[in-house]
Amino acid sequence: MQERQALGGKVLTVPFKVCAAIVLIGLFFLGKRFIFGIGSVTNMNDGYPWGIWIAYDVVVGTALACAGYSIALIVYVFNKGEYSPLVRPALMTSMFGYTLAGISVIFDIGRYWQAYNIFLPWLSNLHSVMFEVALCIGTYILVLWMEFAPTLLEKFKAARLQARLNRIIFVFIALGILLPTMHQSSLGTMMLMAGHKLSPLWWSGFLPLLFLITAVVIGYAAVIFESLIASVAFKRPLELHLLSKISALMPWLLGLYLVIRIEDVNLRGYLPLAFEGGLLGNLFLLENLLLLAALLILAYPNNRQNPRLLFIASCAMLLGGSMYRFNTYIVGFDPGTGWRYFPSVPELFITFGIIAAEVMAYLWFVKTLPVLPKFTKA
């Protein structure tokens, strides 16, 4: 089995302190939200009942956190064990991403003190897509912690517990593949209900499928991005051979996505909207051009060996995929009757605070826990 090590080193570095400051500002506004109501810190309104807290923290955030899902998919299902050095860091990103998305939902929902209502059998609405998403994400957060538990147990040398967990871990791994497949596609299904309020450039019967593909695409891109950054930041050798191999999958996935995405809009007769020069049309083009650019870069095996091009391609996928999701939830959404929405500064700071908390947790974990693969300086 692959050996891992904690990086060690000082935890309280400058980036760590900057993040802590952002978290504090976020906490201040959060206090305000709980005392004076959601309207006192956000620009959300009756026309735009969901703002960046849902669109970014949950819808984009959990896609970025699909790193663990995407890697588990190839490692376990397609039996490519060679990728397993990527598993732990990916799982960890997922664990943080999902946990924080779960926490940010509590900030967002108005009647958080009775959030458990949806899980009371006599109140659960089995027909609600939101119910399915909440149940799947909730369970998945637990599953991620269970999947990550061996790392913690390794650290605390709890060998007995570790052995016991290892005997049943396959159930959690299986759930860890099924649950994201379900809720990531359902995040798309959710916006089907918006109907005529969502621009036809985004509203489509294919929303569930397109959301699922973007989750996988963004998940892989996050693995590549994170691995490259970690190598540079912590001065470790590049895991290039692995990264270039998983990147070989991407052109296929991106190709499939783009064909469905464009052909769907075309068949419904709305493609001309994209070229009218309006904001929505331009965003639609930009979103798809970014993904196309990634496809073109990664289609050439030589490019996949080049860390710089890999990095650019992963950024394009992260941006393009996230934009698709963001546009579906916010920009393409128009309730009519003149409503407008642009996030307020406090609202943004709460989101920044969540991102900063994630970075802090990442730094702390990789330095103190055996997450990254071991290497010895040659």
Partner 1 sequence: MKIRRRDLLKGIAASGLLVAAEQSPAQAKRARKDLPPNAVGILYDSTLCIGCKVCEYACKQANNMPVEHTSSKEVMWDDPQDLSAKTLNIIKRYGVEGPKDTVEGFAFIKRHCMHCLDPACVSACPASALVKNPENGVVTYNKKACIGCRYCQVACPYNIPKFEWDSPFPEIVKCQLCAHLLVKGGISACCAACPTGASLFGPVEKLRSEAKRRMAMEPGEYYDFPVANIDGTEVQQHRAGAYVQHIYGERELGGSQVLYLAGVPFASLGLPELPEDSYVALADGIQYAIYKGMVYPLVVLGGLIYIIRNREEKKE
Judged by beta carbon, residue 49 or residue 255, the one nearer partner 1 is 49
Judged by beta carbon, residue 179 or residue 228, the one nearer partner 1 is 179
Minimum distance of partner 1 from residue 335's CB (angstroms): 5
Minimum distance of partner 1 from residue 213's CB (angstroms): 12
Minimum distance of partner 1 from residue 346's CB (angstroms): 14
Judged by beta carbon, residue 20 or residue 106, the one nearer partner 1 is 106
Torsions phi, psi for 294 (to 5 deg):
-60, -40
Judged by beta carbon, residue 186 or residue 227, the one nearer partner 1 is 186
Minimum distance of partner 1 from residue 17's CB (angstroms): 32
Judged by beta carbon, residue 108 or residue 358, the one nearer partner 1 is 108
Judged by beta carbon, residue 1 or residue 378, the one nearer partner 1 is 1
Minimum distance of partner 1 from residue 272's CB (angstroms): 20
Judged by beta carbon, residue 324 or residue 365, the one nearer partner 1 is 324
Minimum distance of partner 1 from residue 247's CB (angstroms): 22
Neighbours of 137 (CB within 10 A): 22
Minimum distance of partner 1 from residue 119's CB (angstroms): 9
Judged by beta carbon, residue 185 or residue 244, the one nearer partner 1 is 185
Residues forming the site for partner 1 (CB under 8 A): 1, 34-40, 44-47, 49-50, 76-77, 79, 81, 108-112, 114-115, 117-118, 123-125, 127-132, 134, 169-171, 173-175, 177-178, 181-182, 185-186, 189-197, 204-206, 208-209, 333, 335-337
CA distances, 276 to each of 41, 45, 279, 325, 326 (Å): 36, 29, 9, 22, 21
Torsions phi, psi for 374 (to 5 deg):
-75, 140
Beta-strand pair 372-373/4-5: antiparallel
Minimum distance of partner 1 from residue 164's CB (angstroms): 14
